[in-house]
Amino acid sequence: MEIPVAQEKNPALDLASQEPTSVRHKVLAFGVALAAITYLDRVCISITAPLMMRDLGLNTLQMSLVFSAFTFAYGLFEIPTGWWGDRVGTRKVLTRIVVWWSSFTMATAAAFNFPSLVAIRFLFGMGEAGAWPNAAKTFSRWFPLSERGTAQGIFFMGAHLGGGVTPILVTALLTRMPWRGVFLLFGAVGFFWAFTWYRWFRDDPAQHSAVNRKELEHICRGRAPEADHRRGVPWKHILVNRSLIALCLMYFTQSYGFYFYITWLPTYLEKVRGFKATNLGLLAGMPLALSVLADLFGGLTTDWVTRRYGLRLGRCGVGGASLLLAGLFIMVGASTENAWLSALLISFAAASGNFLLGACWGVCIDIAGSHAGVVSACMNTAGQVGGVLSPIILALVVENYSNWAAPLYFSGMLYLGGALCWLFIDPSRPILSEAKPQ
């Protein structure tokens, strides 16, 4: 294949290497670390919530608003930050994102009342917004079509591994330091990632000194040419695209259910199911720990089915089946009287809901062309709307009706509705095949 002129800046491209390099795997490793750090900082607050509520005098509804302040800001700034990554590159944008969110993770330790905590968590969410769309944008430039679902699955595996380990880690740290110290410690981790990423990464694989010609040719298979983003984004066509609308509705249901696991699940297990501290850290982390396997095998499955049976079944079949099982698991888990069985089924629901992540983020790259940051940000924004509503609706139902089961049944019904959304998604039809930039 012909190597574009811009790619000749890399001397390694002129070497006739017998084997392709594997620099893209190191890019993926950076992505996995990024994802793990995001969940280290996000899940931490769900474990420290009872202590924060005690020290700051917060009730259940106020704490749910703290959870949602992050999610609201995160969703509000997703699309602008995704567009920014498309325009200037993810090397700079992800560096800014990680430095910002790490700073406000540490600032959480300085909260002194309800308004200050809401403001800090809002600014934290504002800073972290766009992290995953920019990761998707990175993968769209560094991985061929045949590996994107797997790359996305491994990326989310890192996120959920971080989230699964966090409850155990925080529970242990709280025996040695106050909750404020935990936020200071976790916030410091991101600065090392940002420094290393900026020094090593390049937006274009052709400009990375370690990439040889064979790996570059492999990466470029099925990759859309980079558009001139100075000409603008075809918003009119993106926002009315049927596949993207269905993706947004589907991801709303997935995220609505998922935010229960990273906000109120520890409280549910303690107050409703009667688990004590000895088991609480393990069971609170189980949904995300099982999701690690679901992310990996979900990504591998969507790419394997795509290669064997085509893009639509590989993405939509995997996605629809995942949400169908998630809905059934969470509703049965809410209804069973056995506490351990309930915790296990709810964990299976989380894993099933996350099995689709390689498929749905893969679809964003499949249909987006050079606008992967914007398109994936649209889907993730819809998901954050679900994330904002989830803890608030649960808190209102519990406060007014003392009923923890009803919100879980509602999440299950949403999962089933999300499964139906996959019928309207066509990953084989790119948005830019229907429109030119405006």
Q: What is the pLDDT of residues 316-329, one digit of tens each?
A: 999 999 999 999 99
Does residue 418 lie in a domain region?
yes
Does residue 228 lie in a domain region?
no
Does residue 121 lie in a domain region?
yes
pLDDT at 222: 63
Instruction: Identify which has the larger pLDDT, 266 or 93.
Output: 93
Does residue 2 lie in a domain region?
no
Does residue 4 lie in a domain region?
no
**CA dihedral over 273, 279, 284, 288, signed as positive or negative:** negative
pLDDT above 70: percentage of residues in the chain: 92
- Total domains in the fold of the chain: 1
Residue ranges making up the domain that contains 154: 22-223+235-433
Average pLDDT over residues 373-384: 92
Q: Determine the Cα–Cα distance for residues 162 and 177; give it in Å rounded to an integer.
A: 20
From the number of C-beta atoms within 10 Å of its C-beta (0-12, 13-18, 19+), residue 338 rates as exposed
pLDDT at 229: 52
Average pLDDT over residues 306-324: 95
pLDDT band at residue 159 under the 50/70/90 scheme: confident
As a whole number, the mean pLDDT across the chain is: 88
CA-CA-CA-CA dihedral for 235, 239, 243, 249, to nearest 10? 140
Contact, 82 vs 371, CB < 8 A? no
Does residue 174 lie in a domain region?
yes
Q: Determine the Cα–Cα distance for residues 412 and 256; give it in Å rounded to an integer.
A: 10
Does residue 7 lie in a domain region?
no
Q: Which of 121, 153, 159 is nearest to 45 (CA)?
A: 121
Does residue 419 lie in a domain region?
yes
Residue 202 phi, psi (nearest 5): -135, 140
Q: What CATH number is associated with residue 179?
A: 1.20.1250.20
Name the pTM for this structure: 0.79
Other CB atoms within 10 A of residue 146 CB: 13
pLDDT band at residue 372 under the 50/70/90 scheme: confident
